[in-house]
Amino acid sequence: MERSIVFAFISMLFAGVTAVLAKAGMRNVPSDTALLVRTSLIFGLVWANAVAFRHVGALVRLTKSDLLFLLLSGTTTFFSWLFYYRAIQEGNVSVVSIIDKGSVVVTLVLCVLVLKEPLTLRLAAGCALVVAGLIVLVWK
């Protein structure tokens, strides 16, 4: 199995646990306060990781274009987390997290249109199944 697939499954596991822990941790505080605590810890851990693996020096290799795209990515991450935390505070984590994972459909479309990645039959079928699952989930 490719390392990227293994890493993706590990990410999936941690993301699933994250949602449940976040919901449990915001019983007594607004979602924005919970997000502040979580993000502050992440900030420290990311810096510790960069220092430990000696990646801080690579900052000088960032081009203006790299920096722009990474800052835009950070901005979209902020809005994603902001609304995700508000959604899980008000709703069921089981429903919200599945809808949130529907972002793979957005990612797939943008990868094909922007990054010019090939759209295979397998990717299209997987995407269609995700969309079908989302429709089943929100259909009343």
Cβ–Cβ under 8 Å, residues 134 and 98: yes
Place of tokens 């220092």: 51
pLDDT, tens digit only, all 140 positions of the chain: 899 999 999 999 999 999 999 999 999 999 999 999 999 999 999 999 999 999 999 999 999 999 999 999 999 999 999 999 999 999 999 999 999 999 999 999 999 999 999 999 999 999 999 999 999 988 87
Instruction: Tell me the CA end-to-end span of the chain in Å, nearest whole number.
Output: 40
How many CA atoms lie within 13 Å of 53's alpha carbon, on the beta-carbon side? 7
What is the pTM (predicted TM-score) of this model?
0.87
Q: CA 66 to CA 68: how far, in whole Å? A: 5
Domains in the chain: boundaries: 3-101
Place of tokens 């429903």: 95
Task: Determine the pLDDT at residue 54.
Answer: 95
Q: 77-90 pLDDT, tens per residue?
A: 999 999 999 999 99
